[in-house]
Amino acid sequence: MRRLFSLFALLFIAMALAPRPAMADPADVEAAARGVVRVIIIGRDGEEIFPISHGTGFAVSANRVVTNAHVVAEAVEDDRLAIGVVPSEGSEAVYARLVAVSPRNDLALLQLTEPLGLTPLTIAGNPETTGEVTAVGYPMNVDRAQGLGQSDIFRAQPPVTATGFLSGRRPSRDFDTVLHTAPIAAGNSGGPLLDDCGRVLGVNSFGTASDGADAEFFFAVSTRELLPFLRANGITPRVNALPCRSIADLDAEELARQQMVAEAQRQQDEDEAEALAVQTEDARRTQTFAVMDERANGMALSFLLLLVALGAGLFAAFQHVEEQHRLRAIGGAVSGLALVLALVAWITRPGFAEIDERVEEQLHADAPTDQPSGAITAPVVGASTGGSYACVLDTDRSRVVSAPETDLAVEWTADGCVNGRTQYGLADGRWTRVFVPSSESAVSINRFDPEGGEMVMERYLLDLDAMNAARSARAGFEAPACGAGEEAARALGASQAAITQALPARPNERLVYRCSAGAAPTAGE
C-alpha cells in the first residue's frame, strides 16, 4: 500500500510538471518600455527649436533606434530639419542622424549622436500568431489630453502602453504585417508591438480607418521585414525563439521537481532499507545456523574428549594395580591431555552473542568496496577543487527574454575564480557574483555550484532610480582580484548583499546551465 501511494504521489508531481501555457510577468513589458523613445522632427527658427511632428522608436543596439520611415519622411525631404530622440526616463533629448530608410516596408534606422544608456529590445524569433500583445509608444492624443506644450515633448516621459490581441498575419501590398487590436494613434508609429515577455513582434505602422461604428484594427511591420532590414544595416539583433514563460511558473515547477526528487530519494531509501533488512535477516539466519552447528560440533568434541579422558584414566588405574608404571604414566598423560582439550573445546565453542558480530562482518564483506554498507551517496558532477566545465543551457528550467549563449565554458578554481578573471563571493556556502554595469539598466546575479554542476544567471531589469541605487551600492566596495583568498571571497559575498537585498522579489530572466567536468562545448553541441 505504501509503495502504491508513493507511485501515485510521483504521478501527481509529474502531472504538475507537464508543459502548460504560462503567464508572463508584467515587469517584462515595463522593462522593454524603457528602451522605447520618442522620435521628434525638429524645426528651427533662429536659435529657437520646435517640434514639427513626432513618432516612436525603440533601441536595437546601444546607440541605434528603429522607427517607421514615414515618421522621418519630412527630415528626409528637407535637410533643414533635424531628428531628435527623447528617452523614457532620465536623460535629455539628443540628436540622431539617419542611417537607412526603407519606404517599401516603412522602416528607418537612426544613429544617436550621444549615448542614452538604452537597453536593446529582444525580437521574437518565433512569434506567436494568437494571444495578448502590448503596443508601446507616444500617441499625440494623450499629449493633447494632458495639455503638454512644445517644451514638454523634449522632456523624458514614460511611453503609453495599450493591450490587445493578435488577429493574424495580413500582408499588405508591399510588405508583411501583423494585424492586432492593441490601440495605437498618431505618434505611436515606429513603436514596438510586444508579447508578454517584452519581445518585439512588430513595428507599429498604421491602423484601419473607422467612423466609430466599425471595429478598429492596427498593423505592425512584422519581424520578417524587420530582421533582414537590421542585418542589412550591420545590426546583429537580439533574437529569442523560446516560449514565453513566467518566473512564478518556473518556481512552482522547480518546487515540484524538488519534491519529486525528494520523494524518489525517500522511496530509494526505503527500498534500500528494505533490501538491507532482508539481507540482514538472511545473514542472521545463515550465521545462526553456522553458530549452532559450531556449538554442536564443539560440544560433541568436548564430550568425545571426555570419554577419551575417562578411558585413559581407567587404563592408567588398571596399570597402577598391575604395577606397570610406564603404561600408567602414558595413560595418565593421555587422560590429562584429553581432559584439557575437552575443556578448551567447551570454552571456545561460539556463543549466541557472536551471531550479531558475524552478521555485521558478512554485511561488510558483501557491501561494495567504494561505499560503506547502507550508505547512499548522490552522484557528484563536479569537484570543488576546481577544473574545466562545459555548461549547456537547460531551457526547461530557464526563463529567457534576451538572446543568451546556449553553451558556456567555465574554468573554475577552488577559491572561486571564473575563467581566470572574475572572483566570486562566498556567502551561506554559495559562490555568487553580482554585476552592475554602467551602460545597461540591468543587474545580473551569477551563482555557480561546482559540486552540483550548475550555473544560474538571474537578470533584473530596473528603472533609473533602482539602477542608480544599485550602482551606488556597488561603488561602496571593491571586488578582489582572483587568488585573493577565502577571506576576501567571504568579504565580497557580504558586500554584495547590499545590492541583492534591494532587488525585486523575482528576476526578469533566469538562465540555468547544466555543467559537467570536461572540455568546453563546441558550437552546435
> What pLDDT is recorded for position 457?
96
| 23: pLDDT strictly greater than 60 | no
The CB density around residue 497, as the number of other CB atoms within 10 Å, is 15
| 149: pLDDT strictly greater than 70 | yes
> What pLDDT is recorded for position 179?
93
Three-state secondary structure call for residue 372: coil
> What pLDDT is recorded for position 522?
46
| Phi, psi (deg, nearest 5) at residue 63 | -135, 20
C-alpha cell read off for 263: 520523494
Segment 156-170 shows an average pLDDT of 88
113 touches 138 (CB < 8 A): no
> What pLDDT is recorded for position 189?
95
C-alpha cell read off for 509: 530572466
Q: Give the mean pLDDT of the chain.
A: 84
> What pLDDT is recorded for position 253?
80
| 430: pLDDT strictly greater than 70 | yes
| pLDDT band at 16; cut points 50, 70, 90 | very low
| pLDDT band at 239; cut points 50, 70, 90 | very high
| Phi, psi (deg, nearest 5) at residue 11 | -65, -40
> What pLDDT is recorded for position 1?
45
In whole angstroms, give the CA distance from residue 38 to residue 189.
10
Among 330-339, 362-371, 475-484, 485-494, which stretch is predicted with the lowest mean pLDDT?
Answer: 362-371
Selected residue with higher pLDDT from 8 and 29: 29
| pLDDT band at 214; cut points 50, 70, 90 | low
Selected residue with higher pLDDT from 150 and 157: 157
> What pLDDT is recorded for position 105?
94
| pLDDT band at 182; cut points 50, 70, 90 | very high
C-alpha cell read off for 96: 540622431
| 375: pLDDT strictly greater than 50 | no
> What pLDDT is recorded for position 209?
66
| 69: pLDDT strictly greater than 80 | yes
Phi-psi region of 29 (alpha: psi -120 to 50; beta: other; left: phi over 0): alpha
> What pLDDT is recorded for position 365?
74
Buried b (16+ CB within 10 A) or exposed e, 189-219: bbbbbbbbbbbbbbbbbbbeeeeeeeeebbb
Q: What percent of the chain has pLDDT over 90?
A: 46
Helix (H) and strand (E) counts for the chain?
Answer: 11, 23
